[in-house]
């Protein structure tokens, strides 16, 4: 199941809100999702985001924000990404 999970317990963190935009162009589909999760615990939690993909799907960019920290990933060259991952 897609979502954000607490790494220590694999408990799914509650999704507070979501907003999704999609744009189709020929055989390509671009999706932007703004997902807000809440931490029901008083202490900070280390999480892992899971989003399963079909064999023919690919992620070209991903950005996550937690508090004031922002993490961005963008694939520049598919072959280079396959070499390291």
Q: Write down the domain spans for the chain.
A: 3-73
Place of tokens 């064999």: 55
Say which residues have a Cβ less than 8 Å from residue 17's Cβ, sequence separation at least 6. Answer: 35, 36
Q: Which residue has the higher pLDDT, 35 or 73?
A: 35
**Mean pLDDT score of the chain:** 84
**Inter-residue contact 45 to 6 (CB < 8 Å):** yes
pLDDT single digits (tens) 27-57: 888 888 899 999 999 999 998 988 888 887 8
Pick the range with the lowest mean pLDDT from 23-27, 69-73, 75-79. Answer: 75-79
Confidence at 1, pLDDT banded by 50, 70, 90: confident
């Amino acid at each position: 199941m897609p979502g954000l999970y607490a790494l220590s317990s694999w408990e799914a963190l509650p999704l507070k809100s979501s907003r999704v935009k999609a744009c189709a162009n020929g055989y390509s589909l671009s999706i932007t999702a703004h997902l807000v999760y809440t931490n029901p615990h008083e202490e900070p939690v280390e999480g892992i985001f899971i989003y399963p993909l079909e064999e023919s799907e690919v992620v070209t960019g991903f950005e996550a924000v937690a508090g004031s920290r922002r993490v961005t990933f963008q694939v520049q060259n598919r072959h280079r990404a396959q070499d390291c991952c």
